[in-house]
C-alpha cells in the first residue's frame, strides 16, 4: 500500500501547482502522506497571496491570466477553485506537509514572515533527501 | 528487475511527449510495463490528430514548428518519426497503457470521442495513485 | 538508507540544471550515488562552455541572462556560483556520474569531442532503464 509520497514543486505556474495539489487532495482522502518541497520558482507560490495569482505557463501574455481564471472557474465543482484554500485545507488535515527551501529563500530574499502560515518548516536539501528516503515515490513538478 | 513504470505527461510540447514515448519503446522491448497518464496540457496529445502536430517548447514562434519537423525527420532512422504511429504501435503491443485524466477532460471540454482509440481508459487521480503504488518508478514529464 | 538516485535532465534552463546539481552536491556529501542522464535539450548543458551560459526559463528575453547572472552571484556563498566547476567537482568525487544520451547526440549532431570531459559515458535508453532499476528514486527535471 502507498504510504508516503514526496513532491518537488520548482515552478510557479498554475498547472505545476495544481497537479501536485490535486494529487495531494486525493492522497489525503486515501490517507497517503505527502511531503511537498517548494524550491526555486516554486517557493514563490508559498508567499502570502501568491497561489491565487499563479498564471498558466507557455501561453502568450494576455492569455496566461485568463486561462488560469477559466480553470479556476471550472475547478469550482471539484472544490478546488481557490488554490490558497486548497492549501489551507490540505495543511490542516495532517497528511500533507508543506516545506520551503531555505537556500531559495536566501537566493530570492524571501523571509519566513513573507510565507503563508501553512508552511510547516523551512528545510535544506539534506533534509529533503531524508524525506525522499522514506517516500514510496518522489515526483518533480518543475 | 524493473517490472512496471508509470509516467505522468502534463505538457503538450513535442519533447515532453517524445521523452516518455522513446523510453516506453525501450521499456516495451525489455518487457517492462508502462502506464502513461495524460493530464492537464498533456491530455491534448491524446486528441485525434494532435500528437503529430506537437510543437517544440521554449523557442520563438516560427522555430517551434520547424524544430519539431526537423526532429521528426532525424527520428526516422530510429523508427519514430511519426508520434501517432509510435503511440499506435506501443498501445497494440500490450505493455504500454495510455490513460486520459477524467478531470482534465471535464475542465477542457474534451469528450471520449475526441480521443484516439489507443486510449485504454479514462481515469481519475485516485486510480492513478493505485497505479503509482505498483510502479517501481514514477516519472513526471510536465 | 538512500543509496542511489537517478536524474533525467531534459531542459537546458539554468534552474533545471541547478536543481539536480544542488541536490547532487548534498547527495554526494551524504555518500548517496547519483546517475544523471542528460537528454534532449539537457544534452546542450554538457557541451564545452555551455553550463555557465545557461539562462533562466520563462522570463522575457533580456531578463533571462540577468536572472541567471544574479542567481550565480548569490549562489557564490554556497560554493556553487560557477556551474561548470560544480560539475567538475561532482564528477571527480566518485559518487556523481554524468551520462549523455546517444540518441540526442545523433539528433542534434553533437559529437563526443564537443562534450566536457566530465561526461562518463554516452548511453542509450536501455542502459538508462537499467540504471532506473537500481535507483531508489528517479527524478525528472525536464
> pLDDT tens digits, residue range A75-118?
787 777 789 999 999 999 999 999 999 999 998 899 999 999 99
Chain A residues whose beta carbon lies within 8 Å of the beta carbon of residue C142: 142
Number of C-alpha atoms within 13 angstroms, CB side, residue C54? Answer: 27
In Å, what is the CA distance from C84 to each residue of B12, B40, C77, C116?
A: 31, 35, 16, 9
What local confidence, expressed as pLDDT, does residue A98 receive?
98
The interface pTM score, or ipTM, of the predicted complex is 0.91
Q: Is the pLDDT of residue B4 over 80?
A: yes
Of C11, C126, C140, the CB nearest to B26: C126
| φ and ψ of C4, to 5 deg | -150, 135
What local confidence, expressed as pLDDT, does residue B63 receive?
73
Residue C40 and residue B25: Cβ atoms within 8 Å?
no
A&C contacts, CB < 8 Å: 58
Chain C touching partners, 3 or more CB pairs below 8 A: A, B
Highest mean pLDDT among A69-73, B31-35, B64-68, B80-84: B31-35
Per the DSSP assignment, residues forming a β-bridge with C100 are C38, C122
The set of cell numbers assigned to A86 is: 486548497
Chain C residues whose beta carbon lies within 8 Å of the beta carbon of residue A8: 19, 139
B4-141 domain in CATH 3.40.1260.10?
yes
Q: Where are the domains of chain B?
A: 4-141
In chain C, whose CA is at the least distance from the CA of A41?
Answer: C15
Per-residue pLDDT of chain C (142 residues; tens, 9 = 90+): 899 999 999 999 999 999 999 999 999 999 999 999 999 999 999 999 999 999 887 666 667 777 788 778 877 877 777 899 999 999 999 999 999 999 999 988 999 999 999 999 999 999 999 999 999 999 999 9
The answer to whether the Cα torsion of B142, A122, C52, C80 is positive or negative is: negative
The set of cell numbers assigned to C40 is: 534532449
Comparing B30-44, B79-93, B109-123, C96-110, which segment has the lowest mean pLDDT? Answer: B79-93
| φ and ψ of B69, to 5 deg | -60, -45
End-to-end CA distance of chain A: 27
Chain B residues whose beta carbon lies within 8 Å of the beta carbon of residue C54: none
A 10 A CB-CB count for B31 gives 12
Of B39, B107, B135, the CB nearest to A75: B107
Whole-prediction pTM value? 0.94
The set of cell numbers assigned to C106 is: 545523433
DSSP letters, A40-69, are GGGGGGGBTTTGGG---SSS-HHHHHHHHH
**Which of B44, B10, B23, B47 is closest to B128 using CA atoms?**
B10
Amino acid at each position: 500500500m502507498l504510504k508516503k509520497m514526496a513532491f518537488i514543486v520548482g515552478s510557479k505556474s498554475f498547472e505545476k501547482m495544481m497537479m501536485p495539489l490535486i494529487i495531494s487532495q486525493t492522497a489525503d482522502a486515501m490517507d497517503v502522506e505527502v511531503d511537498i518541497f517548494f524550491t526555486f520558482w516554486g517557493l514563490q507560490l508559498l508567499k502570502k497571496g501568491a497561489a491565487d495569482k499563479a498564471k498558466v505557463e507557455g501561453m502568450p501574455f494576455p492569455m496566461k491570466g485568463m486561462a488560469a481564471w477559466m480553470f479556476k472557474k471550472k475547478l469550482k465543482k471539484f472544490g478546488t477553485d481557490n488554490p490558497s484554500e486548497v492549501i489551507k485545507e490540505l495543511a490542516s488535515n495532517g497528511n500533507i506537509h508543506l516545506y520551503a527551501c531555505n537556500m531559495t529563500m536566501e537566493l530570492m530574499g524571501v523571509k519566513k514572515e513573507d510565507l503563508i502560515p501553512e508552511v510547516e518548516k523551512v528545510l535544506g536539501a539534506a533534509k529533503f533527501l531524508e524525506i525522499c528516503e522514506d517516500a514510496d515515490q518522489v515526483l518533480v513538478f518543475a
